[in-house]
Structure 1
């Protein structure tokens, strides 16, 4: 009887198992059973963007023979949960923020260095100045995935009706504000009920007057707020407050309520980001225009605020090699464009097509023409310092004469933060 016709009996099974056991005892390995490729991702995307990312993940899974599991959780919930899961049960990929918030987790040993991937894929060249937002000492720990450009907004029809000119310099800005006031307009709508819009105004003033390097030294706690180098920033801001350029009782208005003054043609300008178009009346969105925050010193900048989210590989991820495969795929210009399309955000790569949306197109052009960028204030500095700064800038917008005391209080927090880290 041939082997092919040998009946399967209990004795035959035992003999076969015995032969396998003999191979192991002799130091030879039995054929290994291949483990399935599985990639686990935690995202915090909104309802518009989550389906696009799911489709990209599924596409990568089909092409690479990988089971990709995407757990999408609410954005605010992720803020609370991320530190715990990065330590206790990290995914292979997660979403977070660029800038200081990323650097905190790198300092805790929670994000993986992906500098070799960035260089190999040519991402460093494609990001240009934005590379700094995900870098520490020249090493990269994430990839920016689009973000918000902050600048000066105005309604074109209002400027046309009142004979106003979009300001390029601070001298222009003052002339525009004086003319707006004379015609019954609020020169600048700013609502500081939620504090952070005042911090954005500080960012822009400091970037224009002192430049990016000094601004980041302040954000990182290496320079004191009371340093005389920042005197011109607070003096310029105080003068504009005393000239009544800003919305009266600004602390009573959230940003949407302040933006309503611009939308209803009662204010001339507003310093915010592209989400401002959401408050425009239907059919009038095209009247909203964006320009660069005015130049203070022609020798400085232009440096901009561009707050970007980012994608990372946790340091304790189980599938780091597979995660790198996914990032290389996901960060291709055409794939990343599909990810960003539902929300119309500014693309981080300079080799990606410019979006069709007029405001996003303008923002993209301004960002690519910048000399460098910061994040927004509360993303660039230590959380305790950010909270104190938001509170202090809001107070300054009401009581500019207390600038010295406010800066001393900020330095007290800065000292505490820097000595405890």
Structure 2
């Protein structure tokens, strides 16, 4: 087994990537794959976390021992990989590569650069254990990858702050409004947020749109099939504006990054925060036991429950030389014990529901929560065209700071949508 490191630079999205400790891969019962004639499987990953690198190294070594097939893993800098993949998928493709599911995967599927692995899906019965997350790697009824570690977005809070102030987790919109008033009465900001980096504001749009318009309409907007001036979006911005005007959010939030906003939550200055479990990195180690997850409140009780679940993924390029070997490696990598070891230390949520319980209670809470989810989106900047996403992120931040500009912002976004999607 060969492991090569190509550049190493930490990135801001490190927290959305899978991480892992030592592989606990069980070797017993793994049959020699039908790829003995193939001498090598090449893998490209983009991991900056040393534990992830070690996990992949161990899994690759275990596969090599079981199959007799050499595995070469090339690890790239995360940001450099975003550019490199556009080139190597066309020429010099590996047999396996790590990427993102959802719209970012679809862009390569539409160009014929990711292989259809529906045969592997059916053979391994992955749909039975992936449930709603199957959609993240599905295009036109076919699967083009396997989801790896995920981030379930929701409302995080400190148990001790809730206990000390007599707060209850808001289940409905009315509960949420009452929660905000109680927080303010206790001297707390109801919701901590930092929009300096733009993307945290998009989480609020996504969560409310999913609960007001549902998954299909949300994806219609993401795919450019629905106007930003559509009347269906009016109640989304009405609800959002109600929170803004009632002082729910951190004052001067455009000056803070998510880490600083997370610190406000950790310092008992705020009631809740809408983010992924990586908010843990804003907490001192001794306080992590107080951090708890809850779903975003229901707005329309008649809708099924849809959640934001950002998933990374792993794929077989259409131009791979050893597609059979790539499939054998994926099936080995995706064994519950291997995937669990790969995800555990960073607290990423497993997409499949048959993994052993995590040592992290936040992960276990997310896994339980996902069992009642009817479908998932990714996140605004993963689900739509990149240029549309950038315009949307700017617009959402502006709306949170100046809600009176709503009309102009939505007209601007609609003009961007029509230009990008060539309408």
Q: Would you call these one fold, judging by a TM-score over 0.5?
A: yes
Aligned counterpart for 1:211 among listed residues 202, 209, 214: 214
Shift of 1:166: 1.1
Match of residue 275 from structure 2:
272
Match of residue 67 from structure 1:
70
Kindly indicate whether the alpha-carbon contact (under 8 Å) linking 1:347 and 1:354 is maintained by their aligned counterparts in 2: no
Three-state SS of the structure 2 residue aligned to 1:340 is: helix
Q: Please give the per-residue CA displacement for 1:219-274, whole angstroms capped at 9, x wherever unaligned.
A: 11111111001100001101110111101100000001111111111111100010
Aligned equivalents of 1:315 and 1:102: distance in 2?
Answer: 13
* Aligned pairs for 1:353-364 within 5 A: 353-364=356-367
Aligned equivalents of 1:359 and 1:340: distance in 2?
Answer: 13
Aligned equivalents of 2:176 and 2:37: distance in 1?
Answer: 64
Matched, 1:198 2:173: no
Aligned equivalents of 2:85 and 2:296: distance in 1?
Answer: 34
Match of residue 52 from structure 2:
49
Shift of 1:36: 5.5
Aligned equivalents of 1:265 and 1:233: distance in 2?
Answer: 29
Kindly indicate whether the alpha-carbon contact (under 8 Å) linking 2:344 and 2:359 is maintained by their aligned counterparts in 1: no
Superposed CA RMSD in Å reads 1.2
Match of residue 235 from structure 1:
238
Kindly indicate whether the alpha-carbon contact (under 8 Å) linking 1:354 and 1:364 is maintained by their aligned counterparts in 2: no
Shift of 1:342: 2.9
Q: Please give the per-residue CA displacement for 1:366-399, whole angstroms capped at 9, x wherever unaligned.
A: 1122111100110000001110111110000011
Match of residue 305 from structure 2:
302
Kindly indicate whether the alpha-carbon contact (under 8 Å) linking 2:113 and 2:317 is maintained by their aligned counterparts in 1: yes
Structure 1's unaligned 5+ residue stretches are: 1-33
Q: Please give the per-residue CA displacement for 1:327-359, whole angstroms capped at 9, x wherever unaligned.
A: 122112222212222322111111222312111
* Aligned pairs for 1:306-385 within 5 A: 306-385=309-388
Aligned equivalents of 1:237 and 1:356: distance in 2?
Answer: 36
Most deviating of 410-419 and 249-258: 410-419
Aligned counterpart for 2:167 among listed residues 142, 150, 164: 164
Three-state SS of the structure 1 residue aligned to 2:422 is: helix
Shift of 1:35: 6.4
Structure 2's unaligned 5+ residue stretches are: 1-35
Aligned equivalents of 1:333 and 1:160: distance in 2?
Answer: 37
Matched, 1:253 2:256: yes
* Aligned pairs for 1:84-103 within 5 A: 84-103=87-106
Match of residue 135 from structure 1:
138
Shift of 1:411: 1.1
Q: Please give the per-residue CA displacement for 1:284-340, whole angstroms capped at 9, x wherever unaligned.
A: 111111100000011112110000100000010011111111112211222221222
Matched, 1:405 2:408: yes
Kindly indicate whether the alpha-carbon contact (under 8 Å) linking 2:91 and 2:319 is maintained by their aligned counterparts in 1: no
Q: Please give the per-residue CA displacement for 1:52-98, whole angstroms capped at 9, x wherever unaligned.
A: 11110111111111110000112111112110111121111100000
Aligned counterpart for 1:112 among listed residues 110, 115, 131: 115
Match of residue 38 from structure 1:
40
Aligned counterpart for 2:223 among listed residues 220, 225, 229: 220
Three-state SS of the structure 1 residue aligned to 2:272 is: strand
Aligned equivalents of 2:346 and 2:87: distance in 1?
Answer: 29
Three-state SS of the structure 2 residue aligned to 1:407 is: helix
**Count of residues in Structure 1 that have an aligned counterpart in Structure 2:** 387
Shift of 1:164: 1.1
Match of residue 13 from structure 2:
none
Describe the shift of the 1:36–1:321 C-alpha distance in structure 2 as closer, same or farther (beyond 3 A).
Answer: closer
For normalisation by structure 2, the TM-score amounts to 0.90
Match of residue 178 from structure 1:
181
Three-state SS of the structure 2 residue aligned to 1:304 is: strand
Kindly indicate whether the alpha-carbon contact (under 8 Å) linking 1:207 and 1:215 is maintained by their aligned counterparts in 2: yes
Kindly indicate whether the alpha-carbon contact (under 8 Å) linking 2:64 and 2:71 is maintained by their aligned counterparts in 1: yes
Three-state SS of the structure 2 residue aligned to 1:87 is: coil
Three-state SS of the structure 1 residue aligned to 2:50 is: coil
Three-state SS of the structure 2 residue aligned to 1:419 is: coil
Match of residue 293 from structure 1:
296
Match of residue 392 from structure 2:
389
Kindly indicate whether the alpha-carbon contact (under 8 Å) linking 2:38 and 2:322 is maintained by their aligned counterparts in 1: no
Aligned equivalents of 1:157 and 1:338: distance in 2?
Answer: 31
Aligned equivalents of 2:196 and 2:347: distance in 1?
Answer: 27
Aligned equivalents of 2:304 and 2:174: distance in 1?
Answer: 17
